[in-house]
Amino acid sequence: MSAKILDGKTLAKKILSELAKEIEQIRLIKGRSPGLAVLMVGDNPASAVYVNNKERSCLGVGMNSYGNHFPGDIDQSIVIEEIEKLNQDPKVDGILLQLPVPAHLNATEILYRIAPNKDVDGLHPVNLGKLVRAEEGLRSCTPLGVMKLLEEYDIELDGKRVVIVGRSILVGKPLSLMLLEKNATVTIAHSRTANLSEVTANADILVAAVGRSGLITPSMVKPGAVVIDVGINRLSDGTLVGDIDFAGVFQVANYITPVPGGVGPLTVAMLLLNTFSSYKILA
């Protein structure tokens, strides 16, 4: 058997081109374009690539991008002051703090200062609380992207056994809640999970969100499973890979996401969709 590819890149392009058309129409009525502010602290090269990509994507759909790049030794109070300004700025519909931030900063405190209705990364406790309660609100972009991909390919979730490897607040935890909402039976595995292979081999749908290349090997995957790779790892030769042994698991799974070109492009598309939904309410 060889798997079918869940093509996040093509889906993201489609979503962004529809979004560009919607923005084109609505901006004349609202009298302004949507705006996203991306804050970055320091010179983490991976973050710089992500920020660049987000800003370029904004412009591509007709959104304004208000980037702010702070030096790595910036004081917490200055970042918070900037966030307070952006919270009040009527041109700004979404605010995103690119993570990770340098260790001297308290990322949680900064994230809590973003106005919940501009929290396009869905990390404010108000938005996370709404997710727990299955209420509408801004939701984390990467898990949203995974859900969009599953929906696009008509992957049935109701009653299915899903295993997510990784329990971060950015990916694993919010994704588990979104899948529960769709009536999946969800297990979350992590670094202390005993017999990880036994757990993953039970999954109809397996999601890896760890950050370790080659973690998921073919023997850990149930034949015919849907396999989603959220991980992004750069090998010593510069190649980007996920957490899944793609070539091996490709022979076992029914569906698989590539890295790059799987979940990553959808994360950016969901960020812009979140910004657009704030804009529709705020503008």
Ligand X SMILES: NC(=O)c1ccc[n+]([C@@H]2O[C@H](COP(=O)([O-])OP(=O)(O)OC[C@H]3O[C@@H](n4cnc5c(N)ncnc54)[C@H](OP(=O)(O)O)[C@@H]3O)[C@@H](O)[C@H]2O)c1
Of the residues 93, 118, 119, 121, only one is catalytic, namely: 121
Instruction: Among 2, 10, 191, 197, indicate the residue that binds ligand X (CB under 6 A).
Output: 191
189 is a site residue for ligand X (CB under 6 A)? yes
> Which parts of 224-253 interact with ligand X (CB under 6 A)?
230-233
Instruction: Using the minimum distance from each CB to ligand X, give the nearer residue, 33 or 146.
Output: 146
> Which parts of 106-145 interact with ligand X (CB under 6 A)?
142
211 is a site residue for ligand X (CB under 6 A)? yes
Least distance in Å: CB of 267 to ligand X? 3
Cβ(186)–Cβ(203) below 8 Å: no
Instruction: Using the minimum distance from each CB to ligand X, give the nearer residue, 144 or 252.
Output: 144
Alpha-carbon distance values, 204 to 27, 130, 159 (Å): 43, 27, 10
CA angle, residues 69, 70, 76, in degrees to nearest 5: 135
Instruction: Among 171, 227, 249, 256, indicate the residue that binds ligand X (CB under 6 A).
Output: 171
Residue 227 and residue 3: Cα distance in Å, rounded? Answer: 9
3-state secondary structure of 84: helix
Alpha-carbon distance values, 189 to 46, 114, 244 (Å): 26, 30, 15
Least distance in Å: CB of 177 to ligand X? 15
**Residue in the block written with tokens 């090998």:** 235
210 is a site residue for ligand X (CB under 6 A)? yes
Half-sphere exposure in the Cβ direction for 18 (13 Å, CA): 8
Among candidate residues 253, 142, 263, 147, the one with its CA nearest the CA of residue 200: 253
- Strand residues in the chain grouped as ranges (E): 4-5, 35-41, 64-65, 68-70, 94-97, 161-165, 185-189, 205-208, 226-229, 233-234, 240-241, 255-256
167 is a site residue for ligand X (CB under 6 A)? yes
Catalytic residue list contains 88: no
Least distance in Å: CB of 165 to ligand X? 5
263 is a site residue for ligand X (CB under 6 A)? yes
> Which parts of 11-70 interact with ligand X (CB under 6 A)?
none
Least distance in Å: CB of 250 to ligand X? 18
Instruction: Using the minimum distance from each CB to ligand X, give the nearer residue, 35 or 145.
Output: 145
Residue 136 and residue 152: Cα distance in Å, rounded? Answer: 21
Least distance in Å: CB of 37 to ligand X? 19
166 is a site residue for ligand X (CB under 6 A)? yes
Helix axes of 141-152 and 8-30: crossing angle, nearest 10 degrees: 110
Catalytic residue list contains 148: no
**Residue in the block written with tokens 């609202």:** 30
Q: Which amino acid is at 229?
A: D
Least distance in Å: CB of 260 to ligand X? 9
Q: Which stretch binds ligand X (CB under 6 A): 31-39, 108-116, 154-162, 167-175?
A: 167-175
Active site residues: 54, 98, 121
Name the site residues for ligand X (rule: CB under 6 A): 142, 165-168, 170-172, 189-193, 196, 209-212, 230-233, 263-264, 267
